[in-house]
Amino acid sequence: MKDLLSIYALTPSTIEEMIGRAKLLKQLSQSSKMCLSLQGKTLGMIFEKSSTRTRLSFEVGMTQLGGTAIFISSRDTQIARGESLQDTAKIFSRYLDAVVIRTFAQQYVDDFANYAEIPVINGLTDLLHPCQILSDIFTLSEIFCDYSRCKVAYIGDGNNIANSWINLAAKMPINLSLACPKGYEPNVEILARCCNEAPGSVLLTQDPFEAAKDADVLYTDVWASMGQEEEQEKRIRDFMGYRVDARLLQVAKKSAVVMHCLPAHRGEEISADVIDGKQSIVFQQAENRLHLQKAILEMLMIGGKKGE
């Protein structure tokens, strides 16, 4: 595996391996044991969109593994002045050991990976957010013994988060149900591919209660993603009825957990009592970005040679 651009490109055993390694790295870090597996390595990070979790967890992850991360705001580089993607990717490959890119078009990260000799990690595009959903399945592995058979109900916009859940469902035997309003469905090709290949099940409905029924996990995300700010008002109207709140949680299993990739808008896609309630695991979920991404960094930068 050279890059991490989409969960769809991973095998189920690679995903299991990542989860296992993340578990070990989390234990090491909780017992204050050092693991300097990436000593001498440098990660570049090009961000064309805002970030709190992704930026921090990659930077801290590199530091904890003995390496260095360099944050590159694209507007301060020659990229913003039109230097070609091809040249940029080649130059980056001469200085860095890997690069994380957060941008708009998935094509940009795919092309960058084609030109770069170093691993490229998708830190979120309009289409996908693979690091988030890999971290989320790691979180579910901490909570459910047979996490791969969980019923995950995704309620809301058919966006990058929904598409990455669908890609995961094409690889792992989860039961995924998505409730999205008409006109806000996930990517058609990603969904069709998953329907053909899913080892578990995948269901798309417009009824949040149908999706949430007997679910082990209720998952939601913002109604307007980065880059869609001017649609915010319209989306608030169109997504009425898709809020994860106490009424919806009632139809899920009693043991259900509530997830949100964050940042959250309390009172829009999720009610404050639910996100701040007993069943919410959003902060465990956010923490696990760090551990799972450390496993990704090791896998891409040093393969099997991990030391501890």
d(CA 76, CA 237): 37
Binding mask 209-248 toward ligand CP (x if CB under 6 A, else -) reads: ----------------------------------------
Residue 48 or 175 with smaller CB distance to ligand CP: 48
Residue 27 or 52 with smaller CB distance to ligand CP: 52
Does residue 171 contact residue 7 with C-beta atoms inside 8 Å? Answer: yes
Instruction: Find the catalytic residue in 3, 97, 157, 221.
Output: 221
d(CA 194, CA 166): 6
261 given a catalytic annotation: yes
Does 57 interact with ligand NVA (rule: CB under 6 A)? no
Q: Which of 217, 205, 221, 118 is nearest to 164 (CA)?
A: 221
273 given a catalytic annotation: no
Does 299 interact with ligand NVA (rule: CB under 6 A)? no
Give which of ligand CP, ligand NVA, none residue 290 binds (C-beta under 5 to 8 Å, depending on kind): none
102 given a catalytic annotation: yes
Q: Which of 102, 27, 44, 42 is nearest to 288 (CA)?
A: 27
Q: Is 35 exposed, middle or buried (0-12, 13-18, 19+ CB in 10 A)?
A: middle
Does 54 interact with ligand CP (rule: CB under 6 A)? yes
Does 177 interact with ligand CP (rule: CB under 6 A)? no
d(CA 18, CA 145): 17
Listed ranges 15-23, 94-102, 154-162, 183-191: which one lies at the site for ligand NVA (CB under 6 A): 154-162
Does 293 interact with ligand NVA (rule: CB under 6 A)? no
131 given a catalytic annotation: no
Give which of ligand CP, ligand NVA, none residue 221 binds (C-beta under 5 to 8 Å, depending on kind): ligand NVA
Give which of ligand CP, ligand NVA, none residue 160 binds (C-beta under 5 to 8 Å, depending on kind): ligand NVA
Alpha-carbon dihedral sign for residues 236, 238, 241, 242: negative
Listed ranges 29-37, 93-101, 221-229, 248-256: which one lies at the site for ligand NVA (CB under 6 A): 221-229
**How long, in residues, is the chain?**
308
The angle, 0 to 180 degrees and rounded to 10, between the axes of the packed helices 130-143 and 282-302 is 120
Token look-up 């996930």 returns 186
Give buried/exposed letters for 83-98 (b at 16+ CB in 10 A, else e). Answer: eeeeebbeebbeebbb
Residue 160 or 177 with smaller CB distance to ligand CP: 160
Residue 303 DSSP SS3 = coil
Does 164 interact with ligand NVA (rule: CB under 6 A)? no
Provide the annotated active-site residues: 102, 129, 132, 221, 261, 289
